[in-house]
Chain A
Amino acid sequence: MSEYLVNLKVNNIAVSVKEGTTILDASKKLNFNIPTLCNHPDLSVAGNCRVCVVEVKGARLLAASCATPVSEGMEVFTNSEKVRTARKHVIELLLSEHNADCTKCFKNGHCELQDLASEYRVGDHVFIDLVKSKDKILDISSPSISKDDSKCIRCQRCVRTCEELQSVSALAVVKKGDHQRISTFMNKPLDEVVCTNCGQCINRCPTGSLTERTYLDEVWNAINDPSKHVVVQTAPAVRIGLGEDLGYEPGERVTGKMVAALRHIGFDSVLDTDFTADLTIMEEGTELLTRLKRALVDGEKVALPMMTSCSPGWIKFQEHMFPDLLDNLSTCKSPQQMFGALVKTYYAKKKGIDPKNMVSVSIMPCTAKKFECGRPEMRDSGYQDVDYVLTTRELAMMVKQAGIDFMKLDDEKYDSIMGNSTGAAVIFGATGGVMEAALRTAYEIVTGREVPFTNLKIMPVRGFEGIKEAKVMIKDVKPEWAFLEGAELSVAIAHGLHNANELMKAVRAGTASYHFIEVMGCPGGCLGGGGQPIPTSPEIRQKRATAIYAEDEGLPLRKSHENPEVAQIYKDFLGEPLGHKSHDLLHTHYKERKRY
């Protein structure tokens, strides 16, 4: 954007803004809010819902304020009679095409169209109800995402999300006129196309057209069944997101209150995915060092760079788009699935619970986890390792349904065992976090010293740049790691599948020479996951990231290998990282998937 200032008037008030500013933003500067539906801070401008139209003096047409840059001397009216009539017409038209079963809708109370209808007091519809004359197309084929075309307002935010942020393009506009809708390749069900289940479309859908597949009833039923021992695990990013759906501003850490709420809800064991995040570092760090040793010392052909495998959206993306690079993926299961495999074996044994009576629930910032828990590979405990996955949003609903006054709860601590964790696990929730946690541990294993960054903060791997790179010099190593003496470890981090796609193209082309790559499927990492509170924006994700790093700094232990419960599980149960038991329970394999 240029530095030239443009002078204009909005509702007769003068304002100067930078050239290239939209009418929408210029008006906002003067505290005139203009409603929008198709506009989203993460996406390109569409200008197709027309709810943001304004009057520009001298112009024959109304201007879509989200799509029209200001010009010198422009006189804009955001609330003239012409504007109000047109805006009301647009809202009424959208409602005439919308299956407005609001009281029964999953998004009831969180719907942008509902808000607008309420603001404009659209009473009895003037226009003819078009919903009846259309086929109701409800797609619940996916274990993660539910798609209801009868609620779609064709804003195309989901289409832009899938294409621009994720480079997946599972969703696209098909047909035209009154038959136009958002669909998939050849109108196939969502579970048969390249959809990665990331749920970013859900985060940006203004209505209830795209929502997570909910398993609230199943979880309540398990809790209410006295014969079941219901275990819950919570992912790192849930504790910094949950508050947003329960009255807090973005960036509030609610770990202790969340634990208390889970107990009130009735979970029998309240445990932490962070424990297996620490365990992941032990397994994955060892795997990386082993691969490097096999490549450098034994001269074996080993798939490098090694890539993280925590993010199930990213895994499915890779299976569809870069099947030739599947060997590069770490064989480590995601922390959720490591947890699931251990809870029905190690935990059950330690606590004397019959695993067949256990129900394993996880709270995730993620919708792809709902798919992941159902993968056939994820039954190594002899049962389905994780039975149900709920999103951060669904947990907030449970808290409300249980009548818990969340803000007034006292902080509580996770149960033990499998409830203890370190700051290294918490930062898994932010892009670069797994890398930072891995470096903190791997560097220390190899050299016996802490990573050479102030207060363990490895700044080059932090932040929201699409693809980050860092290099760490390894010197004065312990004798058993002599082959790494003087080596420079080269790493890269991508978040959001668009960035992952770019990075993978470079890897495939051989133009990228890294040892280790972290990829998270969602923009910002798990803190921006498809199961996190809505809305999302770069500012909101920044606040969540700040909270995550604050949580890390506030913990007494900040390196995965210092987690005493991790040491204990190796001593009592697993043996050693990459050992036989680990191999059986904590590692997995991947399969090529067709693109269509």
Chain B
Amino acid sequence: MENKILKKVDYIFQETSVSEVIDIIIKTLAKSPDDIILDVIDSGLKGRGGAGFPTGLKWKFTKNEDNPVKYVICNADEGEPGTFKDREILETVACKVLGGMTICGYSIGAKEGYIYLRGEYNYLLPQLNKVIDEFNKQLKSKGIDFVIFIKSGSGAYICGEESALFESMEGKRGEPRNKPPYPAVSGYNSKPTVINNVETLVYVTMICKMGVERFKALGTKDSRGSKVFSVSGDTPTPGIFELELGMPLADFVEDFGDGDTKAVQVGGASGHCVPRKQLKDTIIGFEGIPTGGSMMIFNSSRSMYNVLHDYLEFFNEESCGQCTPCRVGCQQLLKGIESVKKGERKPLYLDELKKLASTMKIAAKCGLGQSVANPFNSIVDNFREEIIY
């Protein structure tokens, strides 16, 4: 394993004007779509929303679909508890997101791009619309056949799930679809669609600007590049930081913790809880624990029962309710730890609940239900006494 140390970098938030982004696009579009896709594949860029699917492959699959209508969608439904990086990106460097969308559109053969903006971020609309209008005008004046639109969500966590997002965009109730077909084949309006996270699209622009090699020099073999982290909780320095991927979690806690760190919840409510004793052996990256960027630090004053209870209440409310494992499973996990806490059920019941969580991980319809086991099993395994007593 490569031994990385924590390194702060500054790519994402590098100030770039609309006309600079347009210049990057024009330079990039001199290449063929296939060459651009090869570059993105070669860069090793993986989705920054949390799931970490190779971005270039997603583009390639969509390009290969024979359909005159395709779409690029920017997933800006940043709903994961503890994640607030996309908001900052859209507030400060939105034009780089638009750049990534345009390059993607050219590469896969799409003429329309949409930003799906989280309902709670609607206050950004006036300034975003201004940037988009100017950007669209410039694209048109340069003869680039691509237009970007924006659509608002209504505040459901599930609509960050890509297929629920499509349903929502189509004016329907936000419920995940069956897969296959995947978005590359049938996404928005049942057309081939690339859907990328806000941050991923910015990295596309940055890779096109600085070149594949400089990007590849960052991070590890499995986790190329850097990533934006939303740091919160028991830390003297909460905020947004761009760090190289592949660092040990211990280094991170060394830098950001308050000296009394008990555990770090990596990846938001749907991520894993890493206790102090595992910090040294945990790598932040796709070879270790992948993350959409949320790093919640808990010190010894925190009750991990309360932490888990909060997460379960969140899932209980935000499950779309469509599939049995998620809708009922979340209720059972929540009520289950409550009943153990109250002494109504024996501590051994936690093992039944862990089995249930494991079923949810493999039998739920979408990522929401599948990921509830992450916080549940990791917190119950590592802080069992806190749940019981």
Contacts and interface: CB of A to CB of B under 8 A. Distances in A.
A242 to B, nearest CB: 35
A571 interface: no
Interface in A35-74: 45, 47-51, 53, 60-62, 64, 67-69
B349 to A, nearest CB: 9
Interface in A115-129: 126-128
Given A86-B359, A93-B328, A50 B365 contact: yes
Contacts of A85: 355, 359
A49 B324 contact: yes
Contacts of B331: 97, 130, 178
A238 interface: no
Given A69-B180, A176-B158, A89 B325 contact: yes
A172 B172 CA distance: 11
B318 interface: yes
B352 A62 contact: no
Given A45-B178, A47-B365, A177 B321 contact: yes
Interface string A152-188: 0110100000000000000011011111100000000
Shortest beta-carbon contacts, A-B, top 7: A180-B321, A93-B328, A67-B178, A89-B359, A47-B178, A86-B363, A177-B319
Q: How large is the interface on B (under 10, 10 to 19, 20 to 34, 35 or more residues)?
A: 35 or more
Contacts of B180: 68-69
B329 interface: yes
B336 interface: yes
Greatest chain A CB density within 10 A among B180, B327, B329 is at B327
Contacts of B315: 177
A246 interface: no
Interface of B: 156, 158, 173, 175, 178, 180, 315-325, 327-332, 335-336, 339, 352, 355-356, 359, 362-365, 370
Contact of B327 (A68, A172, A180): A180
Greatest chain A CB density within 10 A among B316, B324, B335, B352 is at B324
B238 to A, nearest CB: 29
A76 interface: no
Contact of B335 (A50, A64, A86, A128): A128
A123 to B, nearest CB: 14
A82 interface: yes
A293 B335 CA distance: 72
Given A61-B370, A176-B158, A97 B352 contact: no
B362 A178 contact: no
B186 to A, nearest CB: 13
Given A153-B324, A154-B322, 20 more contacts: A47-B178, A48-B324, A50-B324, A50-B364, A53-B363, A60-B362, A85-B355, A86-B362, A90-B359, A93-B328, A93-B332, A94-B328, A96-B332, A97-B327, A130-B331, A173-B321, A173-B322, A177-B315, A178-B319, A180-B321
The interface residues of chain B, by DSSP majority, are classed as helix
A50 B323 contact: yes
Contacts of B332: 93, 96, 127-128, 130
Contact of B363 (A45, A50, A153, A156): A50
B325 A50 contact: yes
Interface of A: 45, 47-51, 53, 60-62, 64, 67-69, 82, 85-86, 89-90, 93-94, 96-97, 126-128, 130, 133, 153-154, 156, 172-173, 175-180
A90 to B, nearest CB: 5
Contacts of A62: 362-363
B321 to A, nearest CB: 3
B327 A154 contact: yes
A93 B324 contact: yes
Contact of A64 (B156, B173, B319, B365): B365
Contacts of B363: 50, 53, 61-62, 86, 89-90
Contacts of B327: 97, 154, 177-178, 180
A33 B315 CA distance: 33
Contacts of A89: 325, 329, 355-356, 359, 363
B317 A177 contact: yes
Nearest to A37: B324
Nearest to A94: B324
